[in-house]
Amino acid sequence: MGGLTDRTWLRYAILFALITALVTGAVLAIGNKGGGHLAANRDQLRKACDGALPYGDLERLVRDARPGELRQHGTMLAPGQDSRSLLDCSLSWGGGNEVAVHAEALVSDVPQGMETRQLVNPGPGGTFTAPGTTGRYGARGAWLVADCRGGLNGRVRPTTDLYVTAKVTDGSAGAAAGADRRTALTGFRTAVHVANAITRAQRCGGPPLDPPSQVVAPAADRGGEGMAGPASRRCDWISPSSVPGLRSGAWATRGDAQNSTALSACVGDWDAGARHNAGETPRDWQITGVEAASWTGVLGRSAYDSYEREGHVPGWGAGEENGLAEAEPLGTDDTEPDPGGRVDRVPSYLTHPQLALWAQSVCGGKVTYHRVSVLPRLHIPDGETVPLGPARRAALAGTAHTLLARYLGAEGGWPKAAGCRDTKVLGEVEEWH
């Protein structure tokens, strides 16, 4: 009897050993298939890039199949090395999941479009803004500009301006609009986290940036997101009743959605699609478009330099022609020159001929550039020109000066909210040369 019991026990022992071996083999197979790198990759994410990456926002991208691949350099990591970057860092986990960040002390212009309509409607590649963050999200990821009041150590000279980019790639996101929005928000939050880590490490003062909780698509036309909320209300002052000289009727206004303390932009256009304008056609030289924008600090320098490269700043190219025409008009016929003025010829190849007016203020303690412009309606046959004499030019200039005054004094507008003071008019620019 005892021998039978021993044989039964032995059979159960062998069966148990076989089951254990099978289970262990399955676990090892699953582990080998996954790679077993998840814990190490998560730990790497916490420590990578001098600990500047937001673990909570990026954890979902970490994969298990292979070790994370980290590349990093910059003076944040090695203060003695020769690098123009404070931090240049990328981390990838395969499957198209990766994050790349770059940060530098700005000693030159912001490498992004700063002109008025670029801020309001940046076109292809400028898909989102994050309210409260001075920056944009596009094909190359998110970028922002932050203020390091105590100064950053740049390679050429000290500066208070920090430029950060962050590109987050989610290989599982696909092309869905919701996924793009989520990726854009993660990009902005990563850039903000990196900026705060750098300003904290540099002890350069100023409050940290708030990580954004949403992103907004800029409005390319009526009905877009940028038409609602603060971006629209900041620009409500644009109307014929507020600015005499504009074409009468309904106007559509748009503002940049950044809600930034460092810049602001508004555009207004006579709204051909509005019910009250139905059947109306503006005449040539009636003002059917306006622009108004402000830029502080390095943003102002960047915007001014951008317009200067086109010859569209006061004193550039046209010399004395940029001054307000002071000759008294001898009538309203601009086809012939009068004794005290001249007649310009506006060519057909100009897409948006306009008269711009520049001014400079101190806003929020920083030197700030303002630019307003008036855009008259013109239909010029190909290869031809239309005349612009002193009477009509003086009318455009008068409207531009009124536009600047209304912009600077508008309740709820950016200049008023920024406490702009000590404004100096810099001059006019004829953008039809």
Residue 151: band (very low, low, confident or very high) from pLDDT cuts 50, 70, 90: confident
Lookup: tokens for 125: 């590649």
248 found inside a domain? yes
What is the reported pLDDT for 166? 98
Q: What is the pLDDT of residue 127?
A: 81
305 is a domain residue: yes
DSSP string, 248-276: SS-EEEEE-S---SSEEEEEEEE-TTSGG
pLDDT attached to residue 340: 53
> Does residue 119 lie in a domain region?
yes
**Could you give the strand order of the β-sheet that contains 366-376, starting from the edge strand earlier in sequence?**
251-255, 263-270, 287-296, 366-376, 354-363, 421-431
* Mean pLDDT across 13-17: 58
Mean model confidence pLDDT for the chain: 84
pLDDT at 205 over 70: yes
Assigned domain for 141 exists? yes
Query: Residue 427, Cβ neighbours under 10 Å: how many?
Result: 15
3, pLDDT greater than 90: no
**376 in a structural domain:** yes
The boundaries of the domain holding residue 67 are: 38-202
Q: Angle at Cα 248 formed by Cα 245 and Cα 252, nearest 5°?
A: 100
Q: Which of 175-184, 221-230, 356-365 has the lowest mean pLDDT?
A: 221-230
Final residue belonging to a domain, choices 202, 233, 268: 202
Co-location of 190 and 254 in the same domain? no
**Spatial distance between the Cα atoms of 89 and 72, rounded to a whole number of angstroms:** 4
Domain count, the chain: 2
Based on the domain organization, do 153 and 270 belong to the same domain? Answer: no
Same domain, 166 and 260: no
**Of 301, 366, 268, nearest in space to 114 by CA:** 301
Residues 68 and 117 in one domain: yes
Average pLDDT over residues 410-414: 94
Q: Of 146, 167, 202, which marks where a domain is finished?
A: 202
| C-beta of residue 262 within 8 angstroms of C-beta of residue 134 | yes
Say yes or no: 287 and 332 in one domain.
yes
How does residue 265 score in pLDDT terms, banded at 50, 70 and 90? very high
- Residue 69 pLDDT > 80, yes or no? yes
Q: State both tokens at 68.
A: 């994370």
> Does residue 281 belong to any structural domain of this protein?
yes
Sorted by sequence, the CB contacts under 8 Å of residue 166 that are 6+ apart come out as: 99, 100, 101, 102, 141, 142, 143, 187, 188, 190, 191, 194
Better-predicted residue by pLDDT, 100 or 6: 100
Give the per-residue pLDDT at 155: 61
Extract the tokens encoding 341: 């003025």
Mean pLDDT of 310-337: 51
State the Cα–Cα distance between residues 160 and 174, nearest whole angstrom.
Answer: 38
Cα separation values, 70 from 49, 104, 140, 366, Å: 9, 19, 20, 39
**Are 310 and 355 in the same domain?**
yes
Q: What is the mean pLDDT of residues 308-321?
A: 73
Q: ∠366-369-375 over CA atoms, to 5°? A: 155
Q: Which of 39-48, 172-181, 202-211, 293-302 has the lowest mean pLDDT?
A: 172-181
Contact 87, 194 (CB under 8 A): yes
Q: Is 11 domain-assigned?
A: no
Structure confidence at residue 11 (pLDDT): 60
Residue 13 confidence (pLDDT) above 80 = no
pLDDT of the residue at 153: 73
Res. 298 pLDDT band, cuts 50 70 90: very high
More reliable by pLDDT, 93 or 433 = 93
256 and 171, same domain (yes or no)? no
Last residue of a domain, one of 170, 202, 234: 202
C-alpha–C-alpha distance, residues 260 and 34, integer Å: 45
DSSP structure string for 104-145: EE-SS--SS--SHHHHH---TTEEEB-TTSSEEEETTEEEEE
Do 246 and 192 belong together in one domain?
Answer: no
On whether both 171 and 235 belong to a single domain, the answer is: no
